[in-house]
Amino acid sequence: METSAPQLAPAPAGLFLRGAATFVDVTLVLLLGLGVQTLVTEPLDPDMFTIAALLTTANIRILAETVWGGSPGKWLTGIRVKFPGAPRLLRLPLSILRNSWLWVIPLSILLGDMILSVWAAVVVVAVSIILGPDRRSVADLLAGAYVIDSNAPRRVPDPVDRTSPRRALAWAVDMTLSALAGWALDNWLDWSWWAWGLVVLAVLRIASESLRVPTPGKALLGLRVEHRPGMLPVRAAARNLWILPALLLAAGFDHPLLLVECFIALSFLYLPGQRSATDYLAQATVTR
């Protein structure tokens, strides 16, 4: 009886090819920006030019990855972005997640003098490609994506991340709703909108988990939180304990500071079983 040969799957693209593709994309955007600068009467200052360049790069990459599977730089270097197992309708939000490091940086620049965050984000993504499983950056893991080199086939099929991208999208939905509520409260109460958003998020998550119902984001993405029996409000509070230090930072600096949020995201991306540090603390799991 003959056994079928293992399905060929493309090899992951290395740091050099990915860096070259990003360099091409950024160079094209910079040339476009410099051309626009020569045509306007009041050129942008360096910070605003950086913000515009990053947002343009992010938008080009998101659109190209959603429609064609790769940005101009990736097509030129022969690499592609895959979202294995993801329905077509999810490709756009997953690509937005994958390129989040490009559009979060402009937000941090607008909220304070944090131009060093540009280099910090680049270093984090590059190091995670080198050290991460299957040469996947932290952004790839967040979106359940693979960046592949079709010229170097291998005989190992790509696994499919079933939870992490949906979990990140669910968090984004819940945080957006909470931030909008925080913005509304900020008009009435003297506190930062991000701090109020975290308060709303804490109430939403702890109440929903105590009642064993999903938050809006988890309901939309088909996820649920499973706790061990007994003391549900205590376990729910423990699983969302990260919101307290995040709230203290937001209240102290009066702008969104994603330090704690990023730590939790990193923990569920890299710890076994796609469980965050607070999932382990509360002995909880997030499943479909």
Q: What is the pLDDT of residues 177-234, one digit of tens each?
A: 998 888 888 777 777 777 888 889 999 999 999 999 999 999 988 899 999 888 888 9
Is residue 223 domain-resident? yes
More confident call, 115 vs 242: 242
Query: How many CA atoms lie less than 13 Å away from 3 in the CB half-sphere?
Result: 3
Q: Which pLDDT does position 219 carry in this prediction?
A: 92
Per the structure, the complete domain to which residue 102 belongs is given by 9-154
Q: Same domain, yes or no, for 120 and 27?
A: yes
Instruction: Indicate the pairing of strand 146-154 with strand 224-226.
Output: unpaired
Q: Phi/psi class of residue 214: alpha, beta or left (left: φ > 0; alpha: ψ in -120 to 50)?
A: beta
Is residue 2 domain-resident? no
Q: Which two tokens stand for residue 25?
A: 């994309």
Q: Same domain, yes or no, for 63 and 96?
A: yes
More confident call, 87 vs 131: 87
Q: Which pLDDT does position 112 carry in this prediction?
A: 56
Q: Which pLDDT does position 2 carry in this prediction?
A: 45
Helix, strand, coil tally for the chain in percent (to 5): 65, 10, 25
More confident call, 84 vs 200: 200
Q: Same domain, yes or no, for 168 and 253?
A: yes
Q: Same domain, yes or no, for 169 and 62?
A: no
Tell me how many domains the chain contains: 2
Q: Which pLDDT does position 244 carry in this prediction?
A: 87
Q: Which pLDDT does position 251 carry in this prediction?
A: 72
Of 96, 128, 154, the position where a domain reaches its end is 154
Q: Which two tokens stand for residue 267?
A: 């923990």
Q: Which pLDDT does position 208 carry in this prediction?
A: 93
Q: Same domain, yes or no, for 113 and 200?
A: no
CA distance 175 to 194: 10
Of 154, 182, 216, the position where a domain reaches its end is 154
High-pLDDT (> 90) share of the chain, %: 12
Q: Which pLDDT does position 169 carry in this prediction?
A: 86
CA distance 131 to 114: 26
